[in-house]
Amino acid sequence: MKTAHTLLLLGFAAITFACNNSKETTSTETNTEMTTTETATTNLPYNKNSKYNWEFNPDQKNEAIVLNVFKAMEQLDHQTIGKYTADSIVSNIDGVKFKGTREQIMQLNKDFFATLKTLKVVPTDWRSVVNKDKSEEWVSVWFTQHWEDQKGQRDSVNVFNDIKLKDGKITAWNEYLQHFPKP
């Protein structure tokens, strides 16, 4: 009887391995990222909108612009940020929507920076993407932001930014915050 059970289990295992969905994976490593292409028979509940078909942007120009803006933020330097901002900008910062001119956003930055004593940005990852027809370029950045206000109060948040650039200028800035729980 034990032999029959053993044979039955071995047969089941052989069928399972023989019916295993095959996955073909190809990996190529570039300077800072790993790109993986998978071909599988998984049925997904949604179809992609192939209009965009995003891909990693191998040109690091946009990443450099965004990271220079972050460095200017740390130095509370709204003038340098203005150099990288388009004539008009749209933003959604933690649910607060803004649509206006470079001068308006620079004034908001100046007013905000005046409330701070220090600001520290600690990026953990960033990716630059471009869509198939090269009409949109975005840089996504994950980071922790620490600050001390003029009253000596310190705080920090985890942040995700999605920043749209056109011709080397920021045209849209979306920011989402994850507040740490109060002790």
Residue 29 domain-assigned (yes or no)? no
Residue 17 domain-assigned (yes or no)? no
CATH number, domain with residue 92? 3.10.450.50
Kindly tell me if the per-residue pLDDT of 28 is higher than 70: no
Residue 116 domain-assigned (yes or no)? yes
175 is in which domain, residue-wise? 62-130+155-179
Residue 2 domain-assigned (yes or no)? no
Burial 112-124 (b: 16+ CB within 10 A, else e): eeeeeeebebeee
More confident residue, 85 or 48: 85
Q: Which two tokens stand for residue 58?
A: 């191998």
Number of domains observed in the structure of the chain: 1
Q: Tell me: the pLDDT tens digits for 138-176?
A: 999 999 999 999 999 999 999 999 999 999 999 999 999
Q: Name the pLDDT band for 37 (thresholds 50, 70, 90).
A: low
